[in-house]
Structure 1
Amino acid sequence: MIRPLSRTALILDIVGAVLLFVIFTPMSVVFYAPPVTGEPVAGAAVAAVVVAGLLMFGAVAIGRLSPGLALVGAWAGAIVQMLAGFGPLPIDLAILLVLYATSAWGSRRVLWWGLGSVIVGGVIAALYMVFVSGVAFGTGTGWELVTGGTLLLAASIMALGFAWVCGLLWRVVLRSRRTRAAQLQAEALAAEEQERVRIARDMHDIVAHSLAVVIAQADGARYASAVKPEMATEALGTIAQTARGALSDVRMLLTQLRHRQGDGPQPTLADLETLFAQVRQAGIEPRVTVDPMPPGEPPGAIQLAVYRILQEALTNAIRHGDGAVDVHLAWLPDRVDIQVRNTVAADAPPSAPGGHGLIGMRERAQLVGGSLHTERRGAQFVVQSSLPIGASQ
């Protein structure tokens, strides 16, 4: 029965209803009250108009807060007006405003009660004006009475129905606004989720690769320290360099999380040599073949996808391989084909099909419209991907 309504809106409704009452009630008394012969009758007539006006404009004041109660108040005011013997008065404007409120802000039940009030109220108003108020057409008998009553019925229903239909149209507008707002919110949440997934994927690629290099270097330094201390020192330098690079990349991603100002610098094909160097420092010697070479400058998204796929594939080779890995890139006019093969160590556990690294590589390929497949072929683990590039720039 009671809708949530802000205090400001409620105050505005009350002030507006009071102003309408102050304007239209005196007009109803002065210009439309029937002539009376005695003071008591005149006083009763004024009191009836005032009471009807209070009920009707009181209903207007709570029209948005409680359309159902407002409809009851409007009916009560109309009944008081008819019992006092008045015909249509300026205060009846309140009835139109209440019908508008029932269809604009009322519940489904109140909405249909408002429509029923339009029909029933129109019929009662027409009958009242013909048989009580004495509205006559022509001689007031026979066909003229029927015709006049029909016209009054149509006019009453049209006047009341117009207010109800206007409220219904506003209800549709409000619903479309809410639907649009919900759609925009859903799109914003989806965009934020995609951004979180992208950053999480980047974080995994950066951290997993860097930690794999650091672990391999640390294991090598531990074994070499007893034989060649200088190799341990070199390994420690590589660890420090790799960790600094990873820390810089992580800070860049955290900055994007805080400020969301662009993607920042992303790896390109020019950074692949640095990636291969990091892999060599971890004890893996990748055999890289590029045939054919890129015919031009590939799109930035393709360069980033190639870098991240190779980064994750080489990280897996460091973790689970025995030191042999083959990388082949084929830059064709319409696509780039990637293949990474590494021999799996005998004691390496089987790759989990739902691992974050494999999922991340597939997502990288799918984001640019490509595909990626991984499989175990005997003692080798193979990563194959094909990324469409269109015309090179």
Structure 2
Amino acid sequence: MQHPPEPPRRLPAGTVQAVLVGLAVAVLGTWEVGFADIRTQMSDRDQILFVCAFAVAVASYRLRPSLALGLLWALAFLQVWNGVPLLLVELSVAVIAFGCGRYGSVATLVASAASVPAIGLLLVLTYGAGLELLEVPSANEAYYSALWAGSLRSLLTRVLLFGTALLIVPWLVGVLVRVLRREARTRAEQIETARERDQAEELAEVKEGQARLARDVHDVVGHSLAVILAQAESAQYLPDDDPARLKDTLATIATSARTSLQDVRHVLGATGDRPPSGGLDTLVEGVRASGHEVISTEIGEPRPLPPELATVAYRVLQEMLTNAIRHGRRDEPLHVERHWQDELRIEVSNVVDTAGVETVPIAARDVAPAPGNGLEGMRRRLESVGGRLDVRPRSGAGFPTFTVTAWLPTSAT
């Protein structure tokens, strides 16, 4: 089995540029050694080696600025020790100064900053030694003192200009570029982080919309199927000689199915911000029409709810009635209460059917359903608008009962 060829490795950015600069320094330095009359204790071969080492230092300014700085100091001492005058190619020391400020580590940055005055001091001590500071002829002391002072001022001026032009300015430029690049990189990272956060928020909104759609479909289909099932089962006990009641039951089933289909279309049509027409009373009447006895009580002054709150109230009552039909006794009434105060309190209670296979308490069956379904779905709906849910089985005289109570605000905050 042949493996695909590995892609060619790319050189680090700026490597070719640094190598070309080093080669240029080596060529110019070799030419200068060969054609200039340089008085020094070093042989021509050693001078060429000196220039080549300097070219290596310059070529290392980007990838290894610490190496470049170390070579520069070693070459400076070698130059002073052998009395080599300043060469023209040494003007490229500005490249090393820039590289230390731009690409060097913190230690290299500090060392290069300290090297600027140190190199200036080295030049003063080296090339100022020939001024014969200690041998001032007494015959014309004033003349030679003035000559000495003028030569020292000239040397200090050249050293200052050399240090400023070739060391300080390039180093400062490198530090400035370093800071600007870092700020640009930080700004780019902040923009990327903000973009990722926006994408995560959009994805969360999409998932929340999908979960909300799943809850709506579950509530609509579950409630309608529970009502239709109750109506169909009640039709089994109708007398055979009463076709009129059978037709009424079938008509009620058709109406429930048609209403369910409209609700599903309503949900899938992304118009879930408004509840189906008819409101809460329609749900109660639909259960009553299925053959269940419903005792409905409304306390307080009803008031219109904002669309979002009306949708939550409708879906919560729909799920309450669905659970009551599914798990309650058919020969016992459902109790539905609505209390209008500062909050709307909706309460549905039913007698628990413990016969046959329905022996598991409803609380144990519905407290931990699939996400978005049952009691958990109601709880999430209510919490999304600042409401709350209470689920409580009760036992007393007769059969045990199960009560679900929901509170939700009557005005949007």
TM score, norm. by length of structure 1: 0.66
Asked if the contact 1:374–1:383 (Cα under 8 Å) also holds between the matched residues in 2, the reply is yes
User: Do residues 281 (structure 1) and 292 (structure 2) align?
Assistant: no
SS in 1 for 2:337: strand
The offset of 1:367, in angstroms, is: 1.7
Measured in 1, the distance between the counterparts of 2:175 and 2:127 equals 22
Q: 1:291 to 1:180 in 2, by over 3 A?
A: same
SS in 2 for 1:322: coil
Asked if the contact 1:56–1:91 (Cα under 8 Å) also holds between the matched residues in 2, the reply is no
The offset of 1:201, in angstroms, is: 1.8
Measured in 2, the distance between the counterparts of 1:227 and 1:72 equals 106
Instruction: Specify which of 108, 112, 133 is matched with residue 117 of structure 1.
Output: 108
Q: 1:154 to 1:202 in 2, by over 3 A?
A: same
The amino acid of 2:307's aligned partner reads G
SS in 2 for 1:193: helix
User: Do residues 350 (structure 1) and 361 (structure 2) align?
Assistant: yes
Q: 1:135 to 1:177 in 2, by over 3 A?
A: farther
Q: 1:342 to 1:126 in 2, by over 3 A?
A: same
Measured in 1, the distance between the counterparts of 2:179 and 2:402 equals 70
User: Do residues 206 (structure 1) and 205 (structure 2) align?
Assistant: no
What residue number does 2:137 align with?
A: none
Instruction: Specify which of 327, 334, 352 is matched with residue 325 of structure 1.
Output: 334
Asked if the contact 1:52–1:80 (Cα under 8 Å) also holds between the matched residues in 2, the reply is no
CA deviations on 1:307-363 (whole Å, 9 max, x unpaired) are 11211111111111224112121222x222222222222424311222431112222
- Which residues of structure 1 form unaligned runs of 5+? 1-9, 60-68, 103-112, 257-262
The amino acid of 1:327's aligned partner reads V
The offset of 1:254, in angstroms, is: 4.2
What residue number does 1:312 align with?
A: 319
What residue number does 1:365 align with?
A: 382
Matching of residues 43-54 of structure 1 within 5 Å: none
What residue number does 1:381 align with?
A: 402
Matching of residues 1-393 of structure 1 within 5 Å: 37=36, 55=59, 69=63, 85-86=87-88, 89=91, 92=94, 96=98, 100=102, 102=103, 114-124=105-115, 127-128=118-119, 131=122, 139-140=151-152, 158-224=172-238, 228-256=242-270, 263-264=271-272, 266-267=274-275, 270-295=278-303, 297-323=304-330, 324-332=333-341, 334-347=342-355, 348=358, 349-351=360-362, 352=364, 353-355=367-369, 356-378=373-395, 379-390=400-411
SS in 1 for 2:36: coil
- Which residues of structure 2 form unaligned runs of 5+? 1-9, 38-43, 80-86, 129-148
Equivalent pairs, count: 345
The offset of 1:97, in angstroms, is: 7.2
SS in 2 for 1:381: strand
The offset of 1:154, in angstroms, is: 6.4
The offset of 1:265, in angstroms, is: 5.2
The offset of 1:135, in angstroms, is: 8.9
Measured in 1, the distance between the counterparts of 2:264 and 2:68 equals 66
Measured in 1, the distance between the counterparts of 2:236 and 2:150 equals 117
TM score, norm. by length of structure 2: 0.63
CA deviations on 1:256-302 (whole Å, 9 max, x unpaired) are 4xxxxxx445216732233223212322232222222224x322222
Q: What percentage of aligned pairs have identical amino acids?
A: 28
Measured in 2, the distance between the counterparts of 1:227 and 1:77 equals 114
Q: 1:74 to 1:318 in 2, by over 3 A?
A: farther
Measured in 1, the distance between the counterparts of 2:222 and 2:328 equals 15
Measured in 1, the distance between the counterparts of 2:244 and 2:123 equals 115
Bigger radius of gyration among the two:
2
CA RMSD of aligned residues (A): 5.0
SS in 1 for 2:324: helix
The offset of 1:387, in angstroms, is: 1.8
SS in 1 for 2:326: helix
Asked if the contact 1:338–1:384 (Cα under 8 Å) also holds between the matched residues in 2, the reply is yes
Q: 1:72 to 1:97 in 2, by over 3 A?
A: closer
Asked if the contact 2:263–2:276 (Cα under 8 Å) also holds between the matched residues in 1, the reply is no
What residue number does 1:62 align with?
A: none
Measured in 2, the distance between the counterparts of 1:247 and 1:363 equals 25
The offset of 1:382, in angstroms, is: 1.5
Asked if the contact 1:298–1:389 (Cα under 8 Å) also holds between the matched residues in 2, the reply is yes
Asked if the contact 2:273–2:311 (Cα under 8 Å) also holds between the matched residues in 1, the reply is no
